[in-house]
Amino acid sequence: MDELDELYQEIILDHNKRPRGRGELPGATHTAQGDNPLCGDEIRVFVRLEGDKIADVKFIGEGCAISKASASLMTQAVRGKTVAQAKEQIQKIHDMFTGQGCCEHTSFDTDGEIAALGGVKKFPQRVKCATLAWHALDAALDGKPNVSTE
Ligand code: ZN
């Protein structure tokens, strides 16, 4: 395991142990339930929009370490951003796992802690765990009540 892998693993473990943005969000304007039947992860995302800005975002739910760490990283990454910026971030995460588009390669320098999710690419069966919270955020922003990775 190289140094970067170790750093990424530490970030995932830390966010799993001490999730940021966990809990219900009173006054949420948008919410969606994300299910990953493959692993049994269930993440509900709450968003409070003010105009086109994500004033706050939180999540509840249960799942494996990767799904929870990803949800935690997601709330940290998009809080305070505009809907357009959040959509860009969602696309970037998607591209990171599918290897398409301009943003296949993330780095810790430019992307911060969410680059750690890229480490999950080495475990294809866990990719849906890593993308679940982002799918749920996307659904919430689109006004869809739920989304499944199946
Ligand atoms: Zn999982």
Query: What CATH number labels 3-141?
Result: 3.90.1010.10
Is the pLDDT confidence value at 109 over 90?
no
How close is the Cα of 39 to the center of ligand 1, in Å? 5
Is the pLDDT confidence value at 25 over 50?
yes
Q: Which of 19-28, 58-67, 103-112 has the lowest mean pLDDT?
A: 103-112
pTM reported for the whole predicted model: 0.93
How close is the Cα of 26 to the center of ligand 1, in Å? 27
How close is the Cα of 37 to the center of ligand 1, in Å? 9
CB 75 within 8 A of CB 15: no
At 103, the pLDDT band (50, 70, 90 cuts) reads: very low
At 105, the pLDDT band (50, 70, 90 cuts) reads: low
Amino acid code (one letter) for 8: Y
Is the pLDDT confidence value at 20 over 90?
yes
CB 138 within 8 A of CB 43: no
DSSP secondary structure letters along the chain: --HHHHHHHHHHHHHHHS-TTBS--TT-SEEEEEEETTTTEEEEEEEEEETTEEEEEEEEEE--HHHHHHHHHHHHHHTT-BHHHHHHHHHHHHHHHHT-STTS---HHHHGGGGGGGGGGG-GGGHHHHHHHHHHHHHHHTT-SEEE--
pLDDT at 112: 86
Q: How far apart are CA 47 and CA 14, in angstroms?
A: 23
Query: Mean pLDDT across the chain, nearest whole number?
Result: 92
How close is the Cα of 141 to the center of ligand 1, in Å? 23
Report pLDDT digits (tens) over 45-101.
Answer: 999 999 999 999 999 999 999 999 999 999 999 999 999 999 999 998 988 888 765
Residue 10 tokens, joined: 């530490």
